[in-house]
Amino acid sequence: MNFPAGFRWGVATSAYQIEGAAALDGRGPSIWDTFAAVPGAVANGDTGDVAADHYHRWAEDVRLLVDLGVDAYRFSVSWSRILPEGRGRVEQRGLDFYRRLVDTLRDNGIEPFVTLYHWDLPQALEDRGGWRVRDTALRFADYSAIVHDALADVVSKWTTLNEPYCSSVVGYAEGRHAPGAREGHGALAAAHHLLVGHGLAVEAMRANGVPGQEFGIVLNQSPTVPVSDSPADVAAATRQDVLLRRQFTDPLFGGTYPEEMTAMYGELTDFSFRHDGDLAVIGQPLDYVGLNYYYRLHVADAPHREPDPAKRTAHDIGVDTTRLPDVPRTGMGWPVEPVGITTALSDLSARHPQLPPIYVTENGCVYPDTEDLQDTDRIAFLEGHIAAALAAGVDLRGYFCWSLLDNFEWAHGYKHRFGLVHVDYATQQRTPRASFHWYRDFVARARG
Ligand code: FCB
């Protein structure tokens, strides 16, 4: 495989999934602390209270990155470590933690790719309406400017949001993620306010006036495939695509919302949360876009779950996504289809000719462990997907494997393990899997 000069190789993590130390050094609660405490919300009653204890073991984790030979590390900042109430008082100990981390990364020649929001909204802001209300977008811009101001001398890659689809639709419509809401209008408003927050945050960070800074956003891009060529299934796949991809990519890169949304949401269609001027804020030029890919969605037409349109949640759009093709599955049941990363990349790039350069910011999988941690399935998965990403022929600048370490996999808790490094949660001992050694050798060869 031939990679362009300067291609970045990395791994990714996120704050709530690895840090633990949930109440240390002044950190305030986030919606994930609250949600994980709700009986039945997370498998096995797991929480991020301790997670992979990265807050204490970060230096050991940086050594793992050095051993792995990556030149980039994508991680997220916990908003409620910096602003325990989401706004107002700044907690210096939170900023100091990330300063130590990025300084050590830099000392080792690893470039930090900072994500400002990986789903962990401060609970105090959720109590004031969360992403349903515009004020949260303004508070996100304030918080972003504070972190940027503190770290821009050593960080130049800034991602505002990770997967706003999940923060809005999975969190406020499906209720599978924090804050566990099941809403129609609220979830659509959340999606819009996340995008406004993204735009305002980029403006605020650019206003800090630091040269050489790059700003982007990370989007999950599951391509949708109709299960048949019947007009009903094709239309269902379009609705799914609007909900998951185009609700975000059209305003970000095309200056407009998909017109299909009006028909899709029937009596939910009160888009008064969209204000004049918002699209200009959302659609300002970016320096890169991050694409996360795990699987394709196979979509069939289906009845709405809730017959009354006024009571429907935003993801109840008359689709069935459970009819999977006869292909291998990962340990989470996700279909393994490397061609999906090719089309995810080429769709995005073809749809938006002015698209900035792309990074694959997450890609990875879960398989049951063998005793000797010889995860050959994961190696095959990664190798196949890296090749398929390259085959898209787009302006791809880097690849980040999800994840460095086993971690808190949201509503699944600790059961599903995505790490190149195995974590024994009883002792916090880290043990590299075979895929760790494979990735190290692969990256070394790719650099030539
Ligand atoms: C993505 C999330 C990431 C991780 C992977 C498996 O949607 O961004 O935090 O949980 O899925």
Is the minimum distance from the CB of 162 to ligand 1 under 6 angstroms? yes
What does the pLDDT look like over 167-179, one tens digit per residue? 999 999 999 999 9
Ligand 1 pocket test: pick from 46, 410, 412, 414 the residue with the most ligand atoms within 8 Å of its Cβ.
Answer: 410
Nearest partner of 357 among 313, 396, 399, 405, judged by Cα = 396
Is the minimum distance from the CB of 362 to ligand 1 under 6 angstroms? yes
Phi, psi for residue 208 in degrees, rounded to 5: -65, -15
Nearest partner of 173 among 121, 132, 222, judged by Cα = 132
What does the pLDDT look like over 280-335, one tens digit per residue? 999 999 999 999 999 999 999 999 999 999 999 999 999 999 999 999 999 999 99
Given the structure tokens 């094709």, which residue do they identify? 234
How much distance in Å is there from the Cα of 419 to the middle of ligand 1? 12
Ligand 1 pocket test: pick from 117, 362, 407, 409 the residue with the most ligand atoms within 8 Å of its Cβ.
Answer: 362
How much distance in Å is there from the Cα of 229 to the middle of ligand 1? 31
Residue 116, in any domain of the structure: yes
Residue 2, in any domain of the structure: no
Mean of the per-residue pLDDT values of the chain = 98
Is the minimum distance from the CB of 222 to ligand 1 under 6 angstroms? no
Residue 60, in any domain of the structure: yes
Task: Calculate what percentage of the chain has a pLDDT beyond 70.
Answer: 100
Ligand 1 pocket test: pick from 366, 402, 404 the residue with the most ligand atoms within 8 Å of its Cβ.
Answer: 402
Residue 90 has pLDDT above 80, yes or no: yes
Residue 111, in any domain of the structure: yes
Nearest partner of 256 among 396, 376, 352, 129, judged by Cα = 352
How much distance in Å is there from the Cα of 276 to the middle of ligand 1? 33
How much distance in Å is there from the Cα of 32 to the middle of ligand 1? 14
Is the minimum distance from the CB of 409 to ligand 1 under 6 angstroms? yes
Domain holding 48, by residue range, is 8-447
What ligand 1 atom has the least distance to the C-alpha of 410?
A: 10
Residue 72, in any domain of the structure: yes
What ligand 1 atom has the least distance to the C-alpha of 163?
A: 8
Residue 21 has pLDDT above 90, yes or no: yes
Judge contact between 284 and 199, C-beta under 8 A.
yes
Residue 348 has pLDDT above 80, yes or no: yes
Stretch 390-399: mean pLDDT:
98
What ligand 1 atom has the least distance to the C-alpha of 418?
A: 6
Phi, psi for residue 246 in degrees, rounded to 5: -75, -25
How much distance in Å is there from the Cα of 163 to the middle of ligand 1? 8
Phi, psi for residue 360 in degrees, rounded to 5: -80, 110
Is the minimum distance from the CB of 406 to ligand 1 under 6 angstroms? no
Q: Which residues pair with 297 in a beta bridge?
A: 224
Residue 392: strand, helix, or coil:
coil
How much distance in Å is there from the Cα of 294 to the middle of ligand 1? 9
Residue 384 has pLDDT above 90, yes or no: yes
Residue 367 has pLDDT above 90, yes or no: yes
Which pTM was predicted? 0.98
Is the minimum distance from the CB of 418 to ligand 1 under 6 angstroms? yes
Residue 380, in any domain of the structure: yes
Residue 268 has pLDDT above 80, yes or no: no
- Could you tell me the pLDDT band of residue 1, with boundaries at 50, 70 and 90? confident
Is the minimum distance from the CB of 260 to ligand 1 under 6 angstroms? no
**CA 385 to CA 395: how far, in whole Å?**
16
Residue 178, in any domain of the structure: yes
Is the minimum distance from the CB of 402 to ligand 1 under 6 angstroms? yes
Ligand 1 pocket test: pick from 17, 292, 334 the residue with the most ligand atoms within 8 Å of its Cβ.
Answer: 292
| Closest C-alpha to ligand 1, atom 10 | 409
Q: 160: part of which helix (H) or strand (E)?
A: strand 157-162
Stretch 195-210: mean pLDDT:
98
Is the minimum distance from the CB of 410 to ligand 1 under 6 angstroms? yes
Residue 269 has pLDDT above 90, yes or no: no
Nearest partner of 155 among 215, 202, 207, 196, judged by Cα = 215
What ligand 1 atom has the least distance to the C-alpha of 364?
A: 6
Residue 163 has pLDDT above 80, yes or no: yes
| Closest C-alpha to ligand 1, atom 4 | 409
Stretch 354-367: mean pLDDT:
98
Neighbours of 253 (CB within 10 A): 22
Is the minimum distance from the CB of 163 to ligand 1 under 6 angstroms? yes
CATH number, position 340:
3.20.20.80
Catalytic residues: 163, 362
What ligand 1 atom has the least distance to the C-alpha of 409?
A: 10
Q: How many domains is the chain built from?
A: 1
What does the pLDDT look like over 64-79, one tens digit per residue? 999 999 999 999 999 9
Is the minimum distance from the CB of 295 to ligand 1 under 6 angstroms? no
Residue 331, in any domain of the structure: yes
